[in-house]
């Protein structure tokens, strides 16, 4: 058995623990380890049921996305999770999936193959594959509508948004919420249902409804995609796959899903979105700084430059609730001094309607080649500290401008509104 999956026993209940940090992704070795543990559990006559749980902070957060890159680069499909999930579903003894943290993508597909699903109240589940330009590829679009209904399955697969454990319980995706110790609760539940029949998700059809009845749902979903996700292939493919669940037997539905999955995976859209996925995570890493290095709390921010970039950065910090100081430095000919003042006032009132308060506003004559121009520095106090340089200027120049501004306007002008400080219009 793989070292990534461990099996222990609590008397008559087997505990299968997936231990592949940090997020227990279904990397090579994990599916094989789960399959071997299921076999061992079924061979042990002293075991009546099994609990599958994730080590650390989460259940299974999804597939190993790097495997998708290997598949597209080699041009050949690799084995899917579908055989493993069928193997779990066909287990002669009940398998209880205990979910904490996240069960996303392949993690939720794994959970749906279990006979019962338990979750901590803070857990989340979802099928976010469309965000990578693909769809569920291991029966997710076929099992999900059998548990939550067609409309909700279409929404979850086409939009990729997660739902809370409480909503999952209301929908029937989760059988019971566990407060407190998840493992202890799952073991107790496993003993409770050990003598009961093992319900297979793939055999449930009640929530699928009639194929004709789902026509309106699929039409509305496709119309929504055209409005909100125009041009993206994966959301439409996800809808097609869920629709197949309402029209085809489970095995044939999985075949249709597999074909759509492959078309999406090898598309340029998927390759681009997967590249973005890894790119966003790479830029968050700083070379030569260990992961365990504690982050310095940022309580105040000062931004130099109020153009497109500076204004955007300021808005991001303000929206995040961070005290922010914006230093706006503009250049204009003397003829346009009044217009420049009005422009700054308009800019402040439009971009920072409720958070801006002027603490400095003044005019200083320029020097050197800018001798014919005026420099108009305005410090907009939005709430204040660390500097983010949004313009290509020397920090020394910035400090001189800031100091000159404060000394120039005098204490009587500080704290006044922009309307009081700016010249009147006209």
User: b/e string for 106-129 if b means 16 or more Cβ within 10 A?
Assistant: bbbbbbbbbbbbbbbeebbbbbbb
Q: Which of 40, 67, 109, 167 is catalytic?
A: 109
Task: Dig out the tokens for 105 from the structure.
Answer: 């993508």
pLDDT digits (tens, 9 = 90+) for 109-134: 999 999 999 999 999 999 999 999 99
SS3 330: strand
Q: pLDDT-based confidence at 301, cuts 50/70/90?
A: confident
- The H or E element that residue 224 is part of is helix 215-228
In whole angstroms, give the CA distance from residue 26 to residue 18.
9
Which residues, including other chains, have CB under 8 Å from residue 70's CB and lie 6 or more apart?
A: 78
Q: Give percent of the chain with pLDDT exceeding 70.
A: 74
Look at the block and give the residue holding tokens 């749980």. 53
Which residues, including other chains, have CB under 8 Å from residue 365's CB and lie 6 or more apart?
A: 371, 374, 375
* Cα angle for residues 145, 228, 101 (degrees, 5° grid): 50
* Nearest to 360, CA basis, from 422, 301, 415: 415
- Which ranges of 114-202 does DSSP label H, i.e. alpha helix? 140-148, 150-159, 165-171, 182-193
Confidence check: pLDDT of 410 > 50: no
The pLDDT of residue 47: 96
The pLDDT of residue 425: 52
Domains along the chain with CATH numbers: 5-273 (3.90.226.10), 300-421 (no CATH)
* Nearest to 74, CA basis, from 213, 265, 227, 243: 265
User: Annotated catalytic, 203?
Assistant: no
SS3 58: coil
pLDDT digits (tens, 9 = 90+) for 200-254: 999 999 998 876 678 889 999 999 999 888 889 999 999 999 999 999 999 999 9
In whole angstroms, give the CA distance from residue 171 to residue 152.
9
Q: Residue 409's Cα: distance from chain center in Å?
A: 47
The pLDDT of residue 182: 97
Q: Do residues 36 and 2 lie in contact, with contact meaning Cβ atoms separated by under 8 Å?
A: yes
The pLDDT of residue 244: 95
Task: Dig out the tokens for 26 from the structure.
Answer: 């279904």
The pLDDT of residue 424: 52
Task: Dig out the tokens for 297 from the structure.
Answer: 């709390």
Q: Do residues 153 and 170 lie in contact, with contact meaning Cβ atoms separated by under 8 Å?
A: no
Q: Do residues 358 and 418 lie in contact, with contact meaning Cβ atoms separated by under 8 Å?
A: yes
- The H or E element that residue 380 is part of is strand 373-381
First to last CA, the chain: 81
Confidence check: pLDDT of 76 > 80: no
Look at the block and give the residue holding tokens 């055209």. 226
Pairing of strands 357-361, 373-381: antiparallel
Task: Dig out the tokens for 127 from the structure.
Answer: 């099928």
State the average pLDDT for the chain.
78
Higher pLDDT, 350 or 180: 180
Return the sign of the alpha-carbon dihedral for residues 144, 56, 30, 118. negative
- Which ranges of 12-105 does DSSP label H, i.e. alpha helix? 30-43, 65-74, 82-89
Q: Which of 89, 129, 155, 257 is catalytic?
A: 129
pTM over 0.75: no
The pLDDT of residue 390: 40
Task: Dig out the tokens for 304 from the structure.
Answer: 């130099």
In whole angstroms, give the CA distance from residue 37 to residue 228.
43
User: Annotated catalytic, 109?
Assistant: yes
Q: Do residues 142 and 130 lie in contact, with contact meaning Cβ atoms separated by under 8 Å?
A: no
Confidence check: pLDDT of 331 > 50: no
Q: What is the mean pLDDT of residues 183-194?
A: 96
Q: pLDDT-based confidence at 67, cuts 50/70/90?
A: confident
């Amino acid at each position: 058995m793989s070292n990534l999956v461990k099996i222990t026993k609590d008397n008559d209940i087997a505990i299968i623990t997936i231990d592949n940090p940090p997020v227990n992704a279904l990397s090579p070795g994990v599916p094989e380890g789960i399959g071997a543990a299921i076999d061992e559990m079924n061979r042990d006559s002293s075991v009546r049921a099994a609990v599958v749980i994730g080590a650390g902070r989460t259940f299974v957060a999804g597939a190993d996305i790097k495997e998708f890159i290997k598949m597209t680069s080699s041009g050949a499909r690799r084995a899917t999770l579908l055989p493993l999930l069928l193997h779990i579903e066909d287990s002669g003894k009940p398998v209880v999936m205990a979910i904490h943290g996240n069960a996303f993508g392949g993690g939720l597909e794994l959970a749906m193959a279990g006979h019962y699903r338990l979750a901590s109240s803070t857990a989340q589940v979802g099928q976010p594959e469309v965000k990578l330009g693909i769809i569920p590829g291991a029966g997710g679009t076929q099992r999900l509508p059998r548990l939550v209904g067609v409309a909700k399955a279409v929404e979850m697969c086409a939009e990729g948004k997660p739902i809370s454990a409480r909503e999952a319980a209301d929908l029937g995706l989760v059988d019971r919420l566990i407060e407190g110790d998840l493992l202890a609760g799952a073991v107790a539940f496993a003993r409770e249902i050990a003598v009961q029949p093992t319900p297979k998700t793939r055999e449930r059809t009640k929530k699928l409804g009639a194929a004709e009845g789902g026509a309106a749902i699929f039409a509305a979903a496709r119309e929504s995609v055209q409005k909100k996700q125009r041009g993206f292939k994966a959301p439409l493919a996800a809808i097609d796959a869920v629709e197949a669940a309402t029209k085809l037997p489970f095995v044939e539905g999985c075949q249709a899903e597999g074909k759509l999955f492959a078309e999406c995976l090898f598309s340029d859209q998927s390759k681009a979105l997967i590249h973005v996925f890894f790119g966003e995570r790479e830029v968050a890493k700083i070379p030569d700084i260990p992961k365990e290095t504690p982050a310095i709390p940022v309580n105040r921010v000062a931004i130099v430059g109020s153009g497109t970039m500076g204004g955007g950065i300021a808005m991001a910090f303000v929206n995040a609730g961070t005290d922010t100081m914006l230093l706006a430095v503009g250049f204009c000919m003397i003829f346009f001094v009044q217009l420049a003042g009005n422009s700054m006032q308009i800019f402040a009132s439009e971009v920072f309607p409720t958070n801006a308060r002027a603490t400095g506003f003044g005019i200083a004559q320029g020097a050197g080649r800018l001798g014919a121009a005026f420099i108009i520095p305005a410090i907009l106090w939005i709430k204040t500290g660390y500097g983010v340089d949004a313009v290509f200027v020397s920090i020394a120049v910035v400090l001189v401008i800031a100091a000159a501004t404060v000394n120039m306007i005098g204490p009587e002008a500080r704290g006044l509104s922009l309307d009081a400080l700016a010249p009147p219009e006209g």
